[in-house]
Structure 1
Amino acid sequence: MAGYPRWHTASEKGPRERNADAVSAYAAAGAPGITFALADGVGDDPGARRAAQVAAAAAARTPVEAGPVKAILAAQQAVRRLGGTGDAVLVVAMPFAGGYRIAWVGDARAYAWDGSMTHKLTQDHTLAEYFRSRHQPYSPRMEHLVTTSVRTAKPEEIGTTETPSGGLLLTSDGVHKVLPPATIDEILADPARGASALVATAIALGGRDNATALFVEPADVRTRVTERFPTAA
């Protein structure tokens, strides 16, 4: 679309039975850009997959003027309406002049991209991060135990930040918990590889989870690739 940034996304289920990650993007009439959302279902079952799809779609379609926290809460309402126990973690990036306002729950991440390096914008809501920030011991398993989720988060528990950067990367933990920051930077230095190379590399290096990335190119990038990815309606 004219006037909007180029973006691309890719996802692989890895060794899991199904892909419970989902992405969605929506540009409302009159909005300053595109709202992006990436969700990672909790578990490897149909309920987790559906929760992620519904959460991403509801978050992306929240009016920009409502803000990203409201987008998380809209996703929460949508997931709860499903019934059952399906749940997801979620990150949403809403555009404003020159950048994005971001909200998240769980361990889905957002990074700013300045054309040469990524800068992590979010802080994982996991038991490991909780204890790490308090200089307390933790086990590797705690890296995968989230302390907030779409279904359960209270408004005051939702993380928020913003970035003036035009370049943006959203990832599920199947990408960022496998790839070191230097590897992510190296891959994004060649924009033609973008999201697809991040996902493929994570799986090739032995990732055991679904791997999903959504990359929004800086405005001055000229080499572009678009990956097809099914999103919730």
Structure 2
Amino acid sequence: MAANLLKAGHRLTVWNRSKGAADSLISTGARLAGTPREAAAEADFVIAMVRDDIASRKIWLDEDTGAFGMLKAGAVAIESSTLTPVWIRELAKAASARGVAFLEAPVAGGRPQAEAAQLIYLVGGEKDVLARTEPLLKAMGTAVHHAGPVGAGAMVKLSVNSLLAIQVGAMAELIGLLQRLGADVDRAVEIIGTTPASSPAAKTMATSMRAGT
């Protein structure tokens, strides 16, 4: 995602918890910050993509290093992590208390979609803030869906994840059944993947299961 922002011509400052993770970005023009607060200084848009609610809280609200401590007037804070609706609403209130415009913008898509700038954004927040931010998001994705107020994006994203998990479980059960029945499992999975009943995700996951990956 960061690499695609650079390709689109944006000036980019990056920060990562793991040393060396941003080396390739630095070599192609990004500036490295020492803390989230330093990364947010002078930025028009600040994007976070971290593991969970706890990491998100630290990124934005840490008293010493949190990004909210340095956001300039008119900047937009964008939280793209997969988080709980409860926390994302709390974070939005913290942003509002500081006079900061805020959007939640979790994504559907994995690493291949991120690299190809084909992510699908599931946005929660005010429409006018989204209008300002959408051109930036489209440097990283092919679709930007406004799900509703803050919290709606998280609910849709968690629903997408749940649907994926259900399909993974179902494909695993079907593969086990086919094995027990003595079917040509690879051929059966290949055929199932061509039918309307199979989603692209189910097809990919079934192929990965059969490949042992």
TM-score > 0.5, shorter chain as reference = no
Question: Where is the helix percentage greater, Structure 1 or Structure 2?
Answer: 2
Larger radius of gyration: 2
Q: Which has the higher contact order (CA 8 A, sep 6+)?
A: 1
Q: Give the structure with the higher percent strand.
A: 1
* TM-score between the two structures when normalised by the length of structure 2: 0.30
TM-score (norm 1): 0.28
